[in-house]
Structures are given as structure tokens and as C-alpha cells.
Amino acid sequence: MSIPGIPGLGQAAAAPTFAAGPATAAASTIHELQANSEWRFEVAFGQSIDVKVLSGTAEIFGTELAEKHTYTFRGTKSSIFTWHGCRLEVSGPCEEYTAEDTPMVSYVNTHFALEKLRDEAAQNGGEGPRVLVVGPNNAGKTSLVKLLTSYAIRMGRQPMVINTDSREGLLSIPGSLTATPFASILDVEQGWGSSPTSGPSPVPVKLPLCYYYGLPSPEDNAKLFKPVVTRLALAASSRLGVDPVVKGTGMIIDTPGVISQGKEGYELISHIVSEFAVNIILVLGSERLHSEMNRRFSQSTSGAVTVVKLDKSGGCVDRDDAFMRHTQEASIREYFFGDLKRTLINSINPSFLPGGEAETMDTGLYEKVEPSSMMLHCILAVMYASLRDSQETIRDATVMGFVYVAEVDEKKRRMKILVPMNTRITDRPMIWGTWPETTVSLI
């Protein structure tokens, strides 16, 4: 459905209206949503709800929901928006309310502005906009990135989505940074969709280019984070150079909230802007950050950078440590075993010795370690590199995949690992980072 046909832009917003209480598992609840309103819901981990659009039109972060199709949501905080009005049938327990005060008008107008730049790029044979989204934690940055991506796809575009937030994996597990061209709709039940490691899917899989950082915050090791970002930017720019459709659409870059506060973080934003040649910065929910971005980039010598301030959605909620922990564990389990719809078959390597006599890694970025009990239940990144490569080469390499340490024998210097890859990895370097944190036993 064509986005420009959306009515109701510029209409006055009303105060939010709250539902009488959470839906129950015993019976279905019918919600009548008025035009330009949003149904916001939270589903606890271990529980699920079924949602069906009975009539009208509705969307989740820009992806339209099919009428009369049942969608199942587990352990999530999300929202369903309608431009025209709709009737929803909801079955299952969740915390929920309906709001008519949303920033969707400004968000979709931002999309239209980006589309104008893409049309101009197509006429001139140039590149589409390179958009950076910044803002504090829980400001709705990822939701905005997802919405702008979905709208671009619905217009026949293929945006390159960049994730620089290692706390949240985009088509990968936490700890990694990815660049992914999107050519097909997002799977609203999974969030972004699935990658080849997630098994068969009714929605075409995405092909992320993955780099490993292995720490939760860019400020934990800026010396490592910056070159990984530089390599990611080089790879993403190279893809734009060989794919005219992606080139004409441009990039949308998500960032961690921690870099949107304080001088150190601002320096990391400047690094991202420089490496990705960003020309548009969208600032969510922070006057101070908007002022700082204007000060830093309004007189940029590397080219014009447009800074735009957008309101934070009232639907944004804090994601506490417990929620993030559950999200991380769910992402890891899905990587190794699939989800309830897709089951993966893994193999256990019973006798794996990391490193070996051929190991010649120098010191600096990484430290060579022997198998130890501290590795139990940890995730290791397997790199597209050789054990004989320099640490800089290993750092700049893409990720082949991840393995899970199921058992460690320190005396024999051996580990049992869960391997979701049908390829030889004993001659590949593996990186052990502190993020994602040690997970619960998977087997």
C-alpha cells in the first residue's frame, strides 16, 4: 500500500485514553481504534498474546498488518498504530492502553522528506541520504529506525540499516555491530526478521554483514570500538557502490543511548558521522543534544549536515536490566535453536582446542587465553580470519558465526561447544568478549 495515500496528517491530537485493565487469557477483547491512534502493549516473558486485525488498517512500526491474520507476540513492548481506524481482537494477558497523542505525523513527514532526497538522488545519479538517529536511552531510536526502514521498503526502496548498539543485536546476537540491506518486509513478530542462522522463515531472510565488538558500551573501549565502526562503514559504503538501488536509498544508522550524553559520547558521535559521511542527524527527545549537534555540525567542513529534532513518543518505556537480560537470552536461544516456529539442529564438538601451536597473535587488542571455567556458558565469536593473522586483521574481519561453550576441561585444555555452523572452525580465531554476559545453560 502506498504511503502517500495516508490521510489525517496535521490533525490535532487528543489526550491518551486508558483501557480498563489488562487483557485476560480467558477471553478475547475487541479494541475499536479511532483514526490516528495507537494501541500500546507489553507482554511479559513467558507469556504470549494473539492479535488479529478484524477490519480497517493497522501497522507496527511502519509494517502493515494483514487483515484476519493472527499475529503472536511474546516478551515484548510494542504498539499498533492506525491511520484510518481499525478493530483489533486480542487474546492473552498483557498490560495495554490506547493513546491518541502520538508523534507519527512528524515521523511520517520525516519519511517524506527523505523520499524527496532519494528522488533527487535518482535524478542526479547520486546517493540517498545517510541518516543518523541519536538520543538518550529509551527515547525510541530503534523504533524510529524500524519505522523509517519499513516505510522506505513500502516505497520500493532498499535501505541499508546500520546498528552500532552492541547491547542489542540486529539480526545477530548482542555484542555485534551489523550492516544490513533491507529489500523485503519486516517480520513484525520477530522485530527485524531473520537471518540465515535463524532457519526457514515465511518472510525472506536478511543478510547482515556482522562485526564483533564484545562489550556493552562504546565507552568501555573506544580504542576498539572506533576501528570496528570504521571497518563497518567501509564495508557498508562499498555495498552502496555496487548496488544502485541501495545507493539511491541510502543508510539509516541506529546508535546506543550512552553516546548521546557527555563529551566522550559526543566524540563517538562525531566519529560515526565522519566515517559514514552522515548528512542528516535526527535527534530524539533531547534539547541539549540537539543544541550540541547543531554546534558541532552546523559549520561542518566535511559537508553540509542537517540536524532535525523530533519528539520522543509517549509510548516509549524504560527497559530495565531484567528486561534487557531476558531479551538477550531470548536472542541467544533463537540463534542456536530457532524459535517456536523454526527449530534448528546443532552439533556438539566434543574435543575442541582453541588456538594451537600455530597461534602467533601479538599482544595489544586481545589477550590469548587458555580454556577455563570462566568460559562456561559464554558465547565466542568465530572470525573470518586465520590464527596467523595480526590482531588488527582479526579485529577488522567479519563474524563467521558464534559458538556456545557447553563444557570446559581445564586439565586437558579442551572445551565442548555448541556449533550452529556446518563448516570447519578449528583454524579460525575466536574472540571472547564480556558482552553478551554469561548466559544460562542452553543444553
Whole-angstrom distance, CA of residue 358 vs CA of residue 233: 32
| Residue 38 annotated as binding site | yes
In a 3-state reduction of DSSP, which class is residue 210? strand
In a 3-state reduction of DSSP, which class is residue 284? strand
Closest CA to 212 of 154, 241, 173, 184: 173
Whole-angstrom distance, CA of residue 431 vs CA of residue 215: 11
| Residue 140 annotated as binding site | yes
Burial class (CB in 10 A: 0-12, 13-18, 19+), 16: middle
Whole-angstrom distance, CA of residue 113 vs CA of residue 306: 12
In a 3-state reduction of DSSP, which class is residue 87? strand
* Residue 129 DSSP one-character state: P
State how far the alpha carbon of 394 is from the alpha carbons of 165, 170, 212, in Å: 20, 21, 10
| Residue 143 annotated as binding site | yes
Cα dihedral 53, 57, 62, 68 sign:
positive
Cell 511520517, residue? Answer: 108
Strand-pairing partners, residue 37, are: 82
| Residue 124 annotated as binding site | no
| Residue 264 annotated as binding site | no
| Residue 139 annotated as binding site | yes
| Residue 142 annotated as binding site | yes
169 touches 211 (CB < 8 A):
no
Which grid coordinates belong to 83? 491511520
Residue numbers in the known binding site are 38, 77, 138-143
Residue numbers in the known binding site for ATP are 38, 77, 138-143
